[in-house]
Amino acid sequence: QVQVVESGGGLVQPGGSLRLSCQASGSIVNGMGWYRQAPGKERELVAAITSGGTTTYASSVKGRFTISGDNAKNTVYLQMNSLKPEDTAVYYCNARNVLGINTWGQGTQVTVSS
């Protein structure tokens, strides 16, 4: 049984930085990603990474966000720089196991405001 736990969210001023962490436990995973959902909006992909190191980014965060991972710890990080108010959302971590089953974390709030 997979468990996914996110941390690192909070309140930051525009132009600031945050680093989110996500750790999966209970099963071997081969892919993890960060999604976000703002009020009234659909949940959208922010960044994803495979165990092989292949990364994907939403166009809105390219050049500002960086996803990285530690396979031995089943952990991924999302370094968010130059944050904008439109980045405000609940950020969810997703972990995919070797059977292709996805598990979601509980979410962590990121608020960018002056």
Phi, psi values for residue 38, rounded to 5°: -95, 160
Position 48, amino acid: A
| Beta pairing class for 10-12 and 108-112 | parallel
Computed over every residue of the chain, the mean pLDDT equals: 95
Per-residue model confidence (pLDDT) at position 89: 98
Can you say whether the dihedral through the CA atoms of 77, 79, 44, 89 is positive or negative? positive
pLDDT above 80: residue 5: yes
Predicted confidence at residue 72, as pLDDT, reads: 85
Amino acid at 22: C
Tell me which of 99 and 16 has the higher pLDDT. Answer: 16
pLDDT digits (tens, 9 = 90+) for 80-95: 999 999 999 999 999 9
pLDDT digits (tens, 9 = 90+) for 32-62: 999 999 999 999 999 999 989 999 999 999 9
Gyration radius of the chain's alpha carbons: 13
